[in-house]
Structure 1
Amino acid sequence: MIKISLPYGKEKISLNLDEALLNSVLVSRIEDYHPGKTQSELVKEAMESSIDSPGLRELAVGKKNVVIIASDHTRPVPSQIIMPIMLSEIRKGNPGAEITILISTGFHRPTTKEELNQKFGEEIVASEKIVVHESENPDCLVKIGTLPSGGELIINRLGAEADLLVSEGFIEPHFFAGFSGGRKSVLPGIASRVTVLANHCGEFIAHPKARTGCIEGNPVHIDMLYAARVARLAFVVNVVINSEKEVIYAVAGDCDSAHIKGREFLENLCKVKAIPSDIVITTNGGYPLDQNIYQAVKGMTAAEAAVKPGGVIIMLAKSNDGHGGEVFLNTFKEEKNLKAMEERFVNAPRDETIPDQWEAQILARILLKAKVIYISSAPEEMIREFQMTPANNLEDALILSREYLKNNKATITVIPDGVSVIVE
């Protein structure tokens, strides 16, 4: 027997498997990488050797209105490490700068005060001006152009009117943008509902290049980078983190050049080869990424790439925040034919994209390939609405899987963190 630890919420769940049935355990090599420096040292060194850009201190000179885009509660960005250093550098360059931290919620719910305290620490929350982006509030939005795809480019007014716009974030594989980080701080981070919907349209989500780890020719990425340039995103600080959410690598500078260097580092560590299996067990990396079903679709895409057609995906995601999107849930309530759902989204004009359509489209694609058994704290009825099968624990899930496959010797692949790998 082999014992494997799987993240679930803020805990770990142990899995014991017969090695004779285990095809592979797909993990990135991030856990084997030890930088030999503290998290703060890594961030400071990156900022001192910024890529294709002056340093943040130099950029801040003469800039009165400075906006720092920061990630929201759904992203495990170690902002308590990054933000104090960024604030210090800005104020060294311009002690009188008026700084606003703009929370890039994109299309997510607003970040709470408690979540802000967890993210930044109480001192920063108490002393700095923090604004949470509202993608559907016309009073805080302004149009700044048109995307290459033809959609309107509308972003948060604070970001658009900043004398200096910068951001913090982290780089990980992303299931349709290729990688997170860099340009994503603007789109979808501080973009309007209209802009996000245009960029996340069915045509783009179905595009063969809109996949994990793919940037070249990815229409979603092309729009995002364009938006960052038009918004004048001048400087980014992006990090790569391990399973303990600790910084192991950092880049800073131009939003594209720094991101390229960061994703090249990450790509070398997280590409893994799939051995197709009957059953694939995966997670969404634990808290905060597994707070809802919406986010958990990301981890499922890693399993999608490793499961045999007609096989079973066992997904562990705490989902204490429920479904994560009302329209996402209603889409599955109203349309039971998955193929019809997928085709409707692919053929819908970009200006008729509905909220959360992309997540429903990808989940439908996964469900058309494999049965999904979902372990969570979400209501069982809710899980069934998404055409997934609820299970209380891994033991029950494996029994259900074998019963479904009618095979007690079904082969198994385990992906302990489905959002940390690029499965090929």
Structure 2
Amino acid sequence: MTTFYLNYGKTQIGVEIPEQKILNVIMPNPSHGKRDKEEEIKRAIMNPISASLEEIVTPQSSIALLPSDITRPCPSYNIIPILLRELNSIGVKDERVKIVFTNGLHRRNTRDEKIMLLGKKIVEKIKCIDHDAKQKQKYIGDTSHHTPVYINSDVLDCDIKIGIANIDIHVFAGYSGGAKSILPGVSGVETIVKNHYMIYEYFDRTRSGILEGNPIREDMEEAAKLAGLDYIVNVVLDDKKKIVTTVAGDPLRAHRRGVETCDRIYKVPIREKADIVVASAGGFPKDINLYQATKAMDNSTFAIKNGGTIVLFAECPEGVGSEELDRLLNSKSWEEVIQKGKDGGSYAPYGFRAVAKMGIKVVLISSISIEKTARTPIIGARDAKEAIEKAIQIEGEGATITVMPFAGSTLPTYDV
């Protein structure tokens, strides 16, 4: 037996796998987190891709800083103090700055979470606003994909908008970061739903690691341009959540530079697909709920044979994380989940598209009760041993197993 210690929430779970069955262990490619993260962030801000802050900001400018919410591991607590010092050096006073969390359709952040994301000092001295997609939205036009763009008026009221995020593999936008600070970050419900609903029409073009020709990403970038996203500070993190590189400047060009680094670390070539993939979402916050953890499940489908079985480790302390997805999961099959979502105008089952298309079974180890998963196509397991045994029972004693300890970020690339 080979023992793997997989991240699960804020802890780890030991998983024993028969050594002779192991086909691949898909880890991020080697990278080196910066020892001095402050210097790395300063370096990027002082050497931006295109215009500098000094060129676009005046002492009279009002500023909207747009950091990620609690579902993302972006170290905004490192980035924002440096940005504020730079803005202050230009002559912008703190009272001309507001922070709007890019919640999209996620819940509001608690005060403790805001402090975790920004640090107590920032929370106490800068006005912090939780974006609410149902309130204070202003229409500013349509994209070429006919998406009506409604944006948070607190953001639109500011002269300068600065997106703060980490760049990671994303299940349908290709990558996180960049324009996502605007759409879905601070967009209205109608805008987000219209954009995300394209998952059904363009499955092959709206998947992890695809930018060019991805209509959802194109739509996001058009919306960001309409909204006037001026500047971004985005980071690429290693598997220990340390900063590998920082990019700053133009929302499109800087983002693409960051994607190049993301690809070097997280795109991992494989020569053969397995019958079973044992995957961890990567721990908190990637497994804060099932809605987020399905991104790891989708990445796992790139390493598995049609009809195979995924064993997903995701704590999900907040349960399913979406009332809509919770309702849709009460189905007999993945195909039914997807069809109900499509018919009902819901993109909530986005992470289950590939498992439905490929006929994949899913065994889940989480804090979600076995009784609850029994009402869904998910196969619940009480512990790691039971989960592995169930997968082998389904696939047979001759089954091969691939292990993905950081499935929420790692994208297997397979060329026939």
After TM superposition, the score normalised by the length of structure 1 is 0.92
Deviation at 1:337, TM superposition (A): 4.8
Q: CA deviation at 1:206?
A: 3.8
Matched residues, number:
410
Q: Secondary structure at the match of 1:216?
A: coil
TM-score normalised by L of structure 2: 0.94
Q: What residue number does 1:2 align with?
A: 2
Paired residues of 1:176 and 1:205 also in contact (CA < 8 A): no
Secondary structure of 1:77's partner? coil
Whether contact under 8 Å (1:171, 1:181) holds in the other structure is yes
1:63 is displaced (CA, Å) by: 3.8
User: What is the CA RMSD across the aligned residues, in angstroms?
Assistant: 1.8
- The 8 Å contact of residues 58 and 93 in structure 1, kept in 2 or not, is answered as no
Q: CA deviation at 1:423?
A: 1.6
Aligned to 1:266, what secondary structure does the other structure show? helix
Separation in structure 2 between the aligned mates of residue 93 and residue 205 of structure 1, nearest angstrom: 47
Change (3 A) 1:377 1:353: same
Q: Is the contact between residue 372 and residue 389 of structure 1 (CA under 8 Å) also seen in structure 2?
A: yes
Cα distance per residue 1:117-166 (max 9 Å; x no partner) = 111111111111000000012xx110111022112100100111211111
Asked if 1 retains the 8 angstrom alpha-carbon contact of 2:334 and 2:377, the reply is: no
The correspondence for 1:339, drawn from 331, 335, 339, is 335
Partners in 2 of 1:36 and 1:382 — Cα distance? 43
Runs of 4+ deviating beyond 6 Å: none
Q: For the residues of structure 2 that align with 1:3 and 1:205, how far apart are their CA atoms?
A: 41
CA displacement at 1:343 relative to structure 2:
4.4
How far the C-alpha of 1:282 sits from its partner, in A, is 0.6
Give identity over the alignment, percent: 30
Letter in 2 for 1:40: E
Q: 2:211 aligns with which of 212, 215, 220?
A: 215
Q: How far is the alpha carbon of 1:378 from its aligned partner?
A: 1.6
Residue 109 of structure 2 is aligned to residue 111 of structure 1: yes
CA distance in 2, matches of 1:174, 1:34: 22
**Residue 249 (structure 2) aligns with:** 253
Residue 261 (structure 2) aligns with: 265
Match of 1:123 among 107, 121, 124: 121
For 1:371-424, what per-residue CA distance to the aligned partner results, in whole angstroms no more than 9, with x for missing partners? Answer: 10000112223323331011122111011112222x223210001011221222
Q: Distance in 1 between matches of 2:201 and 2:5?
A: 32
Asked whether the 8 Å contact 1:144–1:160 carries over to 2, the reply is: no
Cα distance in 1 for partners of 2:59, 2:316 equals 46
- Given residue 399 of structure 2, which amino acid in structure 1 is its aligned partner? A
Q: Secondary structure at 1:198's aligned position in 2?
A: helix
Q: What secondary structure sits across from 1:304 in the alignment?
A: helix
Moved more, 188-197 or 376-385: 376-385
Structure 1 SS opposite 2:324: helix
Equivalent residue, structure 2, for 1:377: 367
Paired amino acid for 1:234: D
Does the 8 A contact of 2:162 with 2:232 survive in 1? Answer: yes
Distance in structure 1 (CA, Å) of the matches to 2:62 and 2:391: 56
Aligned in 2, Cα 1:280/1:158: closer, same or farther, shift over 3 Å? same
For 1:298, the equivalent position in structure 2 comes to 295
SS where residue 71 of structure 1 aligns?
A: coil
Shift of 1:319: 0.3
Cα 1:364–1:213 change in 2 (3 A) is: closer
* Secondary structure class of the residue paired with 1:53: coil
Whole-angstrom CA distance in 2 between matches of 1:178 and 1:145: 24
- 2:26 equivalent in structure 1: 26
CA offsets, 1:281-329, max 9 Å, x none? 1111100110111111100011111122221100000100011000111
Q: Give the secondary structure class of the aligned counterpart of 2:27.
A: coil
2:409 pairs, out of 394, 398, 420, with 420
Q: Distance in 1 between matches of 2:262 and 2:369?
A: 36
Give 1:204 shift: 5.1
Instruction: State whether residues 177 and 220 of structure 1, in contact with CA within 8 Å, keep that contact through their aligned partners in structure 2.
Output: yes
- 1:46-92 Cα offsets, whole Å, 9 max, x none, are 111000122x2443214432100010010011111111111111111
2:376 is matched with 386
Q: Distance in 2 between matches of 1:152 and 1:381?
A: 41
1:353 aligns with 2:345: yes
Structure 1 Cα separation of the partners of residues 16 and 393 of structure 2: 19
1 CA distance for matches of 2:312 and 2:397? Answer: 19
Secondary structure of the corresponding residue to residue 330 of structure 1: helix
Instruction: Provide the rounded CA distance (Å) in 2 between the counterparts of 1:205 and 1:33.
Output: 36
CA contact (8 A) 2:104 2:184 kept: yes
Displacement of 1:345: 4.9
Q: 1:202 to 1:216 in 2, by over 3 A?
A: closer
CA distance in 1, matches of 2:43, 2:353: 44
1:319 partner SS: coil
Q: Which aligned pairs between 1:2-401 and structure 2 lie closer than 5 A? A: 2-29=2-29, 32-34=30-32, 37-54=35-52, 56-96=53-93, 98-137=96-135, 140-202=136-198, 206-274=202-270, 275-333=272-330, 335-343=331-339, 345=341, 353-354=345-346, 357=347, 359-367=348-356, 369-401=359-391
Alpha-carbon distance, 1:340 to partner: 4.5
Q: Distance in 2 between matches of 1:231 and 1:21?
A: 51
Q: 1:305 corresponds to which letter in structure 2?
A: F
Q: Secondary structure at the match of 2:319?
A: coil
Unmatched segments (≥5 aa) in structure 2: none
Equivalent AA in structure 2 for residue 25 of structure 1: V
Any unmatched runs of 5+ in structure 1? Answer: none
Determine helix, strand or coil for the equivalent of 1:299.
helix
* Counterpart-to-counterpart distance in 2, 1:6 and 1:267: 23
1:149-185 superposed Cα distances (whole Å, 9 cap, x missing partner): 1121001001112111111100000011000001100
1:127 maps to a residue whose letter is K
Aligned equivalents of 1:130, 1:196: Cα separation in 2 = 22
On the 8 A contact 1:276/1:306 being kept in 2, the answer is: yes
Contact map agreement 1:64 1:96 (CA 8 A) in 2 = no
